[in-house]
Structure 1
């Protein structure tokens, strides 16, 4: 099987490449990535994949990459601008990559009659009340809160339209918050880990009560494979691991794991439109495809993640200063 993996030098995409090469060594992978700030070629170190530097909105490039693909091959679409704070500060790249880029990929898949799998987010559904048992299901209405989640919602709708109008052989998955190795230090968990590793104090928006539903990146990518191998064409599957925890709880766990005072935390002004809670019901994925998460102990998964970042300072250290400068400017604006 040949795979074109978009965004394969990013967090989830690079972990997908490594997992695929470990578990399905016969797969032949081509990565296409624009290598924007969030991508890192070092994330693909040791991978046998062919790596192409290019834009998913480049139709000619896509035709070249897919020329030898057949009907049993697939595009696995991870590429996205994905940081909420960045989308609030400057939404234009999110429209370009997440909507225009997805459109060009869909058209390329249609021209070459190639199976398409689209990776999306639970953030398209908006948020849920705190302290309730309610969870997102595949039929939950879309209600995005940020330019990022709105752009992903738009991309999802394009995929569904191409399935219905053109008969594109495609599937979609909407996943909860991922954590694990190779995640850019601007994201919540790696930012806290690297700050603590540098002897700093974690910083939390608002009161830190916002809840996310965490899943290890390897569990997410195994779910993607379950959908590729056994999923019904035209269907959407929600991916989650029952890992609900507030941001404050995550920081407390990380402080305990790393030997820091769990109460030594700074709270900053909350960002606009901050979603309160996400929670995924993955019952359809589990019942239809037999997928189950392996990382069911959140603390153990965080311990493994902390260990990776401590052993790979050379991977994240060059970006840390730039990220903290950016956040300092964001906090300054929010406090006005």
Structure 2
């Protein structure tokens, strides 16, 4: 029912599909209008809209009698959109400039280029300044390193000199110490030699006095020690050649009208040490009664310089019964308390009667 009207409308103005796609019908209309002094572009657009509305109403009314053709309607809708877009593009292309972004409106391209060039210049200057400072810092660092190397070389040289001097001083001190030790040994030997000569001289003097006393008394008095005895100061000394216990040695001295030696002075102790046989030797000192006493009856005051280190100790660990109550002379010359049953050499002493 509506299709004849649509057909009559389109027969009044026949358009091909290429003409619709390219918008040629609009150009012709506008061209004819322009040539004839006809309607303007706005009137052409209004005429197009009226035609579109008429076509749509005809199609809708004919939809009840005939099956619509979606392809034709869709194509016409697309053509209308293209016409409107084309006309809008032509109108706005002639009337308004193309839209710009907000960044370009704020900062135009030439100004942005100038700013970037300024930043690059500042960056280049900064890099140059930093490079100059780096070169200067490198020079300062190199100078500091050279100064440190020179200082280390000076210190090392000084230390080497001090080390050589110290080694030289140590060698000299060692040589001097060796020389002093040798001199001390020589002096000790000389001292012992002189002391021996003095003792011999004293002994010869004592013998001469004994002979003189015996000569003056026509043999009634003996001013000399018995044969085999050694005279020193006012006493005679006998050195054993065997060993026995402290009690047996005491008894032997008593049979000789003497007693175990009593060392009452450093000179007497030195004399006995020089004349006694090597080894351990009994002397006449004991604390059997609880008090240190000599066999000649004199008391002894303890002097640590006479004793070996840690002595006397009254040691009971020898399994011989009892403590250590008798005194011996070590080979070193110092004293030690020992068990009286041990067998050592001994020295007897008697007073010289003139």
Higher relative contact order (CA 8 A, sep 6+): 1
More strand, by proportion: 1
TM value normalised by structure 2: 0.21
